[in-house]
Structure 1
Amino acid sequence: MVKMNLITNNIQYVIYLFMCSSITSILAQGDDTCPKGFLPHQNKCLTKPDEAKLNWPNALGKCQDLGGSLPNIYSAEKQTLLENFISSHYNASFLKVDLPSEYQYHYLDDYSTFIREEKHITFEFMGCNDAYLILSENRDDSVKSYEVLFGGWQNTLSVIRTCRQCQSLATASHSPLSCHTYRPFWVSWVNGTVRAGEGKDVGINTFMKWTDPTPHPVNFLGISSWKTAPTQWKFNKDPYNSTFWLAGTDLGHSTEWVWFPEGDYVGYTHWLPQEPNYFLPHHHCIQMSLHSGFKWATDNCMLKRNFICEIDNSLPINTFG
């Protein structure tokens, strides 16, 4: 009887090990609709590769190595699907800056590369009055600078200037700031036109703009309070990490956008205002950013961005390959 119990226990243990091994293998390989490393998301299999950010050709190649492609978007439903997947698998981080009640610019050197390439900045601000930004060619605010003030004069007026405390060249009478809650804003400086607006989407809800007849480059960004109140600021900690490549390009089809590699022309679109931008050099690929409401923008294909890969799960999958 004891021997029989030992045999029974050994058989049960072997069965247990086999079941555990089978379950582990299945989990490693994915489910019955998606290959290993991909997650089912509605009618697609999606994955965020472990690689660091890549330029558009390398991101495309990585997705093809995995048996997939960069995402294409043919409809609002597909746009929403990708937005939901990115939102659920990516946590945005912020740089928070608290400034005392003094008029002295603090430069955000970590954003220098971004503002040189992208020509805009988004941020959130909390304070009763006077949110100052300086956009400078050199790392100082003496010459060749654009000063943008939000909510000056006790939160009644915003202005654009060409230097510290110079004559106001554009104004907006409003009360944009809050003492108790963060509010989102943006500033852009494309083709010599400085624009400022409310919200997270660059180009939307513009409340003032001014065009410089002799524009200068913007290489540095500084922020400041005024002497009457402290201020609190939030910036996207890594703005490039929240930007994702799509499969769209006009390479070989100048100003005609297609989904690669299918070659289908882009029909449905979700462009940011002022996009597609044909004035910026080498902007031949499409990306979308979490911090601009997932709106599309043209981009330099050789710059490194985040990316996801997709597979249509209606196609046969070799689960055990």
Structure 2
Amino acid sequence: MRLIMWKTWFILTFFTVQTSTQQLGTGCPSGFVKYNGNQKCYGFVASQTTWASALEYCSIVGGTLPQITDANIQAFLEAQISSRYKESNYVISTENNYHYHYIMDNGIDVRGQTSITFEVMACNDAHIALSKDNGVDSRDTYEIVIGGWGDHQSVIRDCKQCAHMDTNVQQQHPIDCQNYSSFWVSWTNNVIKVGKGNDVGKQTFLTWNDTAPHDVNYVAFSTGFGATGKWKVKRGNYNPGLFWIGASDLASEGNWLWLPSKQKFSYSNWAPTEPDNINYYEHCALIDLHRGYKWSDDNCEERRNFICETIPNDEGNEVIGK
């Protein structure tokens, strides 16, 4: 039942929201754009899912995740993502009162998302709440503290001011009074993670697997204990801006293939130090919008945006049901 509902959602979302890019007469599904270089159609999906689920969703339109076999295809995909991407910037101030400010009040909606990236400038005690209900931090809330205890310790708590589920004292002075520091927080498959930088899943320094999880629908920021703070949040229509492609080394570590064709690489566009297989879990490839559209390996179970590739249908645009 859940799979049927997801498929229905995918069809309704993909084939209605994406209609601004409909290419009449190309033989591509509605919402796809045709690349004449290889006579393929490409669709760009803002919703997030795992690598395997993305592959399945692409099969609904008779396609697969993209096989990027030369620099021209890569450049085409970059241009298409860039033309569609819209980003808004928000600045939020928090007082020295340990009172959570829910970012939904600023129009930042994380429902249906599994991560957030942000920058914070504070001397100490940057607090993040991940809540089930908007404006309610007294129950069903994970609490993250970055740079607490005089900017010497960071923790994940299973509720506000509750026991520490993970603690990091190695990252001394993770935040700064005068400069912004970048972080990400993710909540996927019952696992809460915190890391430095803008690349979700990289430079992780806090992790906790909750065996009795609750939903995360709302995010809030707070400072206190002698500190005020300023927070910057960038929200794009593609979030987190990481797009699954059809490459994997699941069968053999380091032997990257295009799946399901099992074709070996004739071209690659890895970012510096990639693929790095952090924690030995990263076996699926993606395009990272925030790293100049370079490729990175990632945990296949993370929820990302994705691209579908299919062959044009000579009979016209509509292929569903045929």
Normalised TM-score (structure 1):
0.57
**Structure 2: 5+ residue runs without aligned partners?**
1-32, 49-53, 310-322
**Counterparts of 1:300 and 1:276 in 2: how far apart (Å)?**
11
Letter of the 1:176 counterpart: P
Aligned to 1:33: none
Three-state SS of the structure 2 residue aligned to 1:202 is coil
Asked if 1 retains the 8 angstrom alpha-carbon contact of 2:65 and 2:307, the reply is: yes
Q: Residues 41-190 of structure 1: matches in 2 within 5 Å? A: 72-74=67-69, 92-109=87-104, 110-115=108-113, 118=114, 120-139=115-134, 140-173=136-169, 174-190=172-188
Whole-angstrom CA distance in 1 between matches of 2:189 and 2:77:
30
| Partner Cα distance (1:204, 1:192) in 2 | 18
- d(CA) in 1 for partners of 2:57 and 2:156? 41
| Larger Rg computed on CA atoms | 1
Which structure carries more strand by proportion?
A: 2
Q: Do 1:99 and 1:230's aligned partners in 2 also have CA atoms closer than 8 Å? A: yes
Q: What is the match of residue 318 of structure 1? A: none
Separation (CA, whole Å) in 1 of partners of 2:297 and 2:242: 10
- Report the Cα distance in structure 2 between the residues aligned to 1:48 and 1:179, rounded to whole angstroms: 45
The letter for the 2-side match of 1:233 is W
Partner of 1:295: 296
Q: Is 1:143–1:163's contact at 8 Å kept on the other side of the alignment?
A: yes
Q: Is the 8 A contact 1:83 1:294 kept in 2?
A: no
Determine which structure has the larger helix proportion and give its number. 1
Letter in 2 for 1:144: D
Q: Distance in 2 between matches of 1:222 and 1:210?
A: 19
Deviation at 1:151, TM superposition (A): 0.5
Letter in 2 for 1:124: E
Q: Is the 8 A contact 2:146 2:155 kept in 1?
A: yes
Q: 1:242: Cα distance to partner?
A: 6.6
Q: Which amino acid aligns with 2:246?
A: G
Q: CA deviation at 1:103?
A: 1.0
- 1:134/1:73 CA distance change after superposition, 3 Å: same
User: Percent of pairs identical after alignment?
Assistant: 29
Shift of 1:308: 10
Aligned to 1:193: 191
Alignment RMSD (CA, Å): 4.7
Alpha carbons of structure 1 residues 100 and 161: separation in structure 2 relative to 1, 3 Å: same
Q: 2: distance between equivalents of 1:211 and 1:53? A: 27
C-alpha distance in 2 between matches for 1:149 and 1:289:
27
| Counterpart amino acid of residue 146 in structure 1 | Y
* Aligned residues between the structures: 248
Q: Which amino acid aligns with 1:295?
A: S
Matches within 5 A, 1:141-290: 141-173=137-169, 174-238=172-236, 240=238, 243=241, 245=243, 248=246, 259=258, 263-265=261-263, 267=265, 273=278, 274-276=281-283, 288-290=287-289
State the Cα deviation string for residues 64-97 of structure 1 (Å, max 9, x = none): 9xxxx9853348x789857975797667442221
Q: Say which is worse superposed, 223-232 or 206-215, in terms of deviation.
A: 206-215
Cα distance in 2, alignment partners of residues 150 and 208 from structure 1? 10
Task: Give the whole-Å Cα distance in 2 for the aligned partners of 1:44 and 1:182.
Answer: 44
Note the C-alpha offset of 1:287: 5.0
Question: Is contact 1:240–1:306 with CA below 8 Å preserved after alignment?
Answer: no
Amino acid at match of 2:146: F
Any idea what the Cα deviations from partners look like across 1:139-185, whole Å, max 9, x if unmatched? 31112221000011221111111111112222112210011221111
Distance 1:54 1:101, change over 3 A: closer
Instruction: Provide TM-score, normalisation by structure 2.
Output: 0.57
Q: How far did residue 137 of structure 1 move?
A: 2.4
Which structure 1 residue ranges, 5 or more long, are not aligned? 1-36, 278-285, 310-321
